[in-house]
Chain A
Amino acid sequence: MAKIQRSWIVVVAIVAGLADVAITHRVMAATVEEIALMNRADRQKVLVEGAKKEGKVSWYTTLIVDQVVRPVKDAFEKEYPFLQVEFFRGNAERLVQKMLAEYQAKRYDVDIIDGTVSPTMVRRANLLQRFYSPMLAEYPADLKDAQGFWGTTNLYFFATGYNTRMVKPNEVPKTYEDLLNPRWKGQMMWSTSRGSGAPIFIGTILGTMGAEAGKTYLQKLKAQNIAKTTASNRQVLDLTIAGEYPLALQIFNHHAFISKSAGAPVDWQPHEPVTATIQTIALAKNSAHPHAAMLLLDFAMSERGQKVFQQSNYLPSHPKVPAKQVDLKPGNGRFKRAYYINPDAQYDKGNDWVDYFNNIFVK
């Protein structure tokens, strides 16, 4: 009797197992592409069902873990308690190298990748999957990819940071031209960083003034003897706070705001049009957890997700979500116009800007 019972259990278990495999197979049969581009009424339901089986999503990010990745992870996991967000943090170059190497070895660890230029870099290697998200409709054309390869989560605006003890209010350089004042010769510093330093400053000048006028301006700026460092613009700003250089060019305006709030003798001055870069977010071509990945993409771009960015003092890219400190975004008092450096432009023209910087500004 006992024997028969046991056999029954085995049979039932096998049948159940097969059924489970069949169901899983049916859901999994959808390719990453199908899931990513799915646009139908029950999309959310299908994604949630699929995500429940996947259980996790892996995010390669250039965002700061402590400041924003963790809050986003927590908020997302609260909404989808059956999902675990794993993240790997690095700068654009490292993330891309890691992803390229893994894909060459057919190891698909990454589901989501973000950054101001990293998604474009892997897209050029054909490692991204186009996707559809209902959230994309809420964004203007310059904050999403026309072909659907990326959306955005947040924005960065650049300004000149100055030490308020060393620079009197009436001296503060208001425009790009003001930076040419002999008063500032040898008094400015900037970072050599491609994505957040001198090269994109050059890009903005050439893009907004035109090639001829832009080059004339940059030649004059060269005579100002700007100190260069490979340190990040956060460190450049800290050197300005310390009094090493009165002016820090091309720093993030929110960094100056954070330090100013802490009492540091520093403020930021925008020059119109303000250089802006876009934090893009994208789906990996062979994502192993595509349902969960789509849910995370939706969430990060949704108003609710964008509020997490806002509360973390990041500048949300969603048009309806203002910055926590509203004047850090354009049109709210301190500056009107921003010159958005599209990730593709940064990728394609960035080398020229780096070259231009190396040839003109590095002796």
Chain B
Amino acid sequence: MAKQQSTKTIGVPLKTRTSGGLWSLGTTFNFDVATIVMIIVSVVTGYLVLPPLYSVIQTSLFTTKLTGEIDEFTLRYYQDLLRELQVIGPFLNTFYFSLGSALLATLLGGSIAWIVTRTDSPLRGLGYFTAFASFGTPFILYTIGWLLLLGRAGPVNYWLKTVLDQPGPVVNIYSLFGMIFIESLLWSPFVFLMLAATFRSMDPSLEEASSVCGARVWQTMRRISLRLMLPAFFSVMLLIFIRSFESFEIPALVGLPGDIRVLTTSIYLDAQKLPPKYGSAGAFSVLLMLVVAATLYFYFRITREGDRFHTVTGKGYRPKLINLGRWRYLTASALVFYSVVLLVLPFLIILWASLLPYYMQPSIEAMAKFTVKNYITALHFPKVTDAIKNSILLGLGSASAVMLLTLFASWLLVRTKMRGRWLLDLLTTLPLLFPGIVMGLAILRFYLFVPIPVYGTLWILLIAFVTRYIPYGIRYTHSALLQLHKELEEASYVSGASWFNSMHRIVVPLITPSFLGGWVFIFLLSAKELSMSVLLVSPQTPVVSVAIFELWENAQVGELAAFGVIWSAILVSIAVVYYLFARRYGVQQS
């Protein structure tokens, strides 16, 4: 320890020039921890991200032979795409859909996060539970739940029709509004988990100063809190915007029946042609990558003066809870409402469907038909216990690996002044834009050719998941570190701690809320991953999401629902147990 102390300078905290000790073997090196971390992180990230990246670009520029081999160079996919972009309708729909979803999800998740972390509102635990539980519900099932609820013959329309005395359905879920509504509900737990972590680690002094100066709560929020949260808000909104822009599930299931076309609709429908070509999907994602690269570049320039966003400093840290007074009834009802909309309603309708031999609209008479037959069928699904075990293992593995890797990557991005580190930022964001099927194929091919024997094992799935979820991990750790003033680390170095020690004792404990939030999020996300899994699973490595997909394609809605209910229950229990455990033992509360 003492050896390293001498060379540390405040302000340039990472120049740990060591002569002797751990890093040198007889010779004197000018070693710099940041460089080592940079090398390791870049190599690992590059190894994970570059092969699929290469594959996506290649897919967009070459035709393939019937055997799947690369054939001729072509710009046709880009030309088709540009022609598609000229049709203004789908483009505008896509834009409204993405922007609407990003805004609504951020508003929903953000408000709930604020209530839960910064106020003394009752029922705050409900926020966490709702976020976990709704996110643990398989995606397809969640969407079906909403379609059944808000469909033309669904209970909501039935009641509204009766109450408003209308002849036809009142709410049309198969609309742009319906798409935005479901998409933002799907993403709001992500916003919640991320912003809750950010809010919780906010320096209260600025807010206190504001209220001392006589500002009202909402003024403080608008002028101080919200502004401090800017990077975090930007991060989540960018992410949701991109994901919605390139998503085709909600547009296909909710938009298409109502004739709402978005950019991905024709790509999706066109992909049914044989032999399968992924050129259009590839070109679309390359174009998106360019847009995102530009955005990130500017974002990076804006946040370069990161000091403005430091909210966790050496001076006291526990943010004070805002005393809501009478308003707490309102916030409590907001929490209940959020929970009902996000979780209770869709879950109840799924539970309802799972108990019926065939689907019936909710009514007392239908209850006479209740049966557990669907649950028995679900539990007899081939290799169901293996699938559950594998999915849980994969979830644990990918969540831990992603969070660890992105913690270091974010630390580099935030703490060091290395040139070209925005490239690392880009590298860690790109997997977000890879079309799942292209990425799955890329990884499949890569490990068929490279002599690393992971093909047909769980490892190939783990590698795929880790790659896919790096962008989510980085959003969590990046905004958390941005808030952490470097003076804390500097103090640690000055006191003689090594780099590892100050990471371990200072940085990690302080960003634990974000770290855990991200961990749980990725755990739940990888439990749902489908587009790559369908290609990468082998007969020996079944996973749950693929089983659910099989049921979705071939089984009756009740069987799908029963399987979904069982799986959600397992996932949510794990997430909750983990979170309670981590909060109790893992976080240094002092």
Contacts and interface: CB of A to CB of B under 8 A. Distances in A.
A263 B534 contact: no
Contacts of A212: none
Nearest to A123: B66
Nearest to B140: A231
Interface string B54-86: 000000000001111100000000000000000
B345 interface: no
Given A230-B252, A362-B269, A242 B359 contact: yes
Interface string A215-254: 0000000000001111110110011011111000000000
Nearest to A92: B274
Interface string A71-95: 0000000000000001111110110
A140 to B, nearest CB: 26
Contacts of B269: 192, 354, 357-358, 362
B552 A125 contact: no
B574 to A, nearest CB: 26
A192 B276 CA distance: 16
Interface stretch (B6-14, B147-155, B282-290, B480-488): B147-155
Contacts of A102: 448
Contacts of A88: 538-539
Interface string B452-493: 000110000000000000000000000000000000000000
Interface in B254-287: 256-259, 261, 265-266, 268-270, 272-276
A192 B381 CA distance: 27
Scoring A66, A88, A194, A227 by chain B CB atoms within 10 A of each residue's CB, the highest score goes to: A66
Interface in A85-113: 86-91, 93-94, 96-98, 100-105, 107, 109
Given A124-B66, A125-B68, A192-B256, A105 B539 contact: no
Contacts of B448: 101-102, 104-105, 107
A262 B357 contact: yes
Contacts of A105: 445, 448-449
B382 interface: yes
B581 interface: no
Interface string B281-306: 00000000000000000000000000
B535 A97 contact: yes
Question: For B369, B381, B539, which residue has the most chain A Cβ atoms within 10 angstroms?
Answer: B539
Nearest to A69: B382
B444 A98 contact: yes
A338 B65 CA distance: 34
Nearest to A236: B257
Interface stretch (B22-30, B189-197, B214-222, B554-562): B554-562
A64 B553 CA distance: 10
A101 B448 CA distance: 8
A100 B256 contact: no
A243 B66 contact: no
Contact of A199 (B144, B268, B272): B272
Contacts of B557: 235, 238, 242
A259 interface: yes
Given A117-B274, A231-B253, A89 B68 contact: no
Nearest to B158: A243
B276 A227 contact: no
Interface residues of A, number: 65
B268 A230 contact: yes
A121 interface: yes
A351 B273 CA distance: 5
Contacts of A5: none
A258 B268 CA distance: 31
A264 B553 contact: no
A8 B69 CA distance: 54
A15 B147 CA distance: 71
A363 B265 CA distance: 11
A98 B381 contact: no
Given A93-B276, A117-B274, A230 B256 contact: yes
A238 B381 CA distance: 20
Contacts of A232: 552-554
A117 to B, nearest CB: 7
Given A97-B535, A101-B448, A242-B151, A228 B274 contact: no
Contacts of B47: none
A100 B67 contact: yes
Contact of B252 (A90, A109, A229, A245): A229
Contacts of B253: 229-231
B358 A121 contact: no
A193 B554 CA distance: 13
Contacts of A126: 66-67
Interface in A182-228: 189, 192-194, 199, 227-228
B357 A263 contact: yes
A65 interface: yes
A127 interface: yes
Contacts of A50: none
B550 interface: yes
B338 interface: no
Interface in B209-267: 252-253, 256-259, 261, 265-266
A96 B67 contact: no
A266 B357 CA distance: 13
Contacts of A243: 152-153, 361
A86 B359 contact: no
Nearest to B258: A227
A229 B256 contact: yes
Contact of B381 (A58, A66, A245, A258): A66
B174 interface: yes
B315 interface: no
Contacts of B265: 362
A122 B444 CA distance: 18
B272 A194 contact: yes
A244 B153 contact: yes
Nearest to B377: A66
B503 interface: no
B324 interface: no
Interface in B106-138: none
B380 interface: yes
A98 B535 contact: yes
A124 B550 contact: no
A97 B68 contact: yes
Given A70-B382, A101-B444, A244-B153, 18 more contacts: A64-B554, A65-B382, A66-B381, A94-B534, A103-B68, A229-B252, A231-B253, A232-B553, A232-B554, A235-B144, A235-B557, A239-B147, A244-B152, A244-B154, A262-B358, A264-B357, A354-B272, A354-B273
27 contacts: A64-B550, A65-B382, A66-B377, A66-B381, A96-B275, A97-B68, A98-B444, A100-B67, A101-B448, A103-B67, A104-B67, A107-B455, A117-B274, A124-B275, A127-B67, A194-B272, A199-B272, A230-B252, A231-B253, A232-B552, A234-B553, A242-B360, A258-B556, A350-B273, A358-B270, A362-B256, A362-B261
Which are the 3 A-B pairs with shortest beta-carbon distances? Answer: A243-B153, A105-B448, A264-B358
